[in-house]
């Protein structure tokens, strides 16, 4: 096992200076939640940060939520490429010669890893995961071929979960519509007369 900081660079986010005329885009914690749920994030726009540690999101980057009861984690996708991360998010840039980003996400979203994150959070209202706790997270590092297999397995279960949620939503809509049609049909019948 290696600490995460030995296989990836980890950057803290920047403060957002929102401005409608600004051309910079910023990913917030709510955007990360949207991304994890399969929704399109509504990135904030503003002035580009003027600090050296401000990096934009690139392909292969892993986004980690710094706040909240659950630590959201996602591989960056094209919807957020070029955006900066806000203060409530960490940008993890894996050494792709050593670690597969999807494998890393699969590990970071395991219940045991999430429990370690929860125990390391500080604060009373909206607890924050310290950067040091993320850096010191020990990650097993099998060969790249095995990492790819594990990443593909995790991705297939994630896709199945999304499909099942969509199916549940569609089934609920169908059920409500069927009941509504039955009520409309019953209402168009002549009134029932008791004999």
Q: What is the mean pLDDT of each run of 10 residues along the chain (195 residues)?
A: 95 84 88 86 88 88 91 92 93 96 96 90 81 95 96 90 87 92 85 68
Structural domain contains residue 126 = yes
Structural domain contains residue 192 = no
Residue 151: what are its φ and ψ, rounded to 5°? Answer: -60, -45
Q: Given this model, what pLDDT does residue 165 score? A: 85
Clarify whether residues 37 and 93 are in a common domain. yes
Tell me the whole-structure pTM to 2 decimals.
0.80
Clarify whether residues 114 and 157 are in a common domain. no
Residue written as token pair 């919807």: 79
Give the DSSP letter of residue 128.
B
Clarify whether residues 111 and 48 are in a common domain. yes
Distance CA 18, CA 42 (A): 13
Distance CA 138, CA 142 (A): 13
* Domain count within the chain: 2
Clarify whether residues 51 and 81 are in a common domain. yes
Clarify whether residues 22 and 110 are in a common domain. yes
Clarify whether residues 153 and 95 are in a common domain. no
Domain with 176, as residue range(s), is 142-187
Q: What tokens appear for 167 in the block?
A: 């199916």
Structural domain contains residue 52 = yes
Structural domain contains residue 195 = no
Clarify whether residues 85 and 164 are in a common domain. no
Clarify whether residues 120 and 172 are in a common domain. no
Structural domain contains residue 130 = yes
Structural domain contains residue 194 = no
- The end-to-end CA distance of the chain, in Å, is 81
Clarify whether residues 32 and 113 are in a common domain. yes
Clarify whether residues 155 and 136 are in a common domain. no
Structural domain contains residue 65 = yes
Instruction: Please classify residue 7 by burial: count the beta carbons closer than 10 Å to its beta carbon, then call 0-12 exposed, 13-18 middle and 19+ buried.
Output: middle
């Amino acid at each position: 096992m290696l600490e995460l900081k030995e296989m990836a660079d980890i950057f803290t986010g920047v403060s957002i200076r929102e401005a409608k005329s600004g051309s910079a885009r910023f990913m917030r914690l709510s955007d990360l939640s949207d991304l994890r749920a399969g929704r399109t994030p509504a990135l904030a726009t503003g002035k580009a940060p003027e600090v050296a540690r401000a990096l934009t999101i690139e392909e292969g980057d892993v986004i980690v939520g710094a706040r909240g009861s659950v630590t959201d984690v996602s591989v960056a996708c094209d919807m957020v490429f070029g955006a900066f991360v806000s203060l409530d998010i960490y940008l993890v840039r894996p050494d792709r010669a050593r670690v597969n980003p999807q494998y890393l996400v699969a590990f970071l979203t395991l219940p045991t890893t999430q429990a370690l994150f929860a125990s390391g959070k500080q604060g009373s209202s909206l607890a924050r995961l310290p950067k040091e706790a993320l850096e010191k997270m020990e990650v097993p590092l099998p060969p790249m071929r095995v990492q790819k297999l594990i990443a593909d397995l995790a991705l297939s279960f994630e896709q199945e979960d999304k499909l099942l949620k969509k199916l549940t939503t569609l089934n609920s809509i169908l059920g409500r519509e069927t009941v509504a049609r039955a009520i409309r049909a019953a209402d168009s019948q002549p009134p029932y007369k008791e004999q």
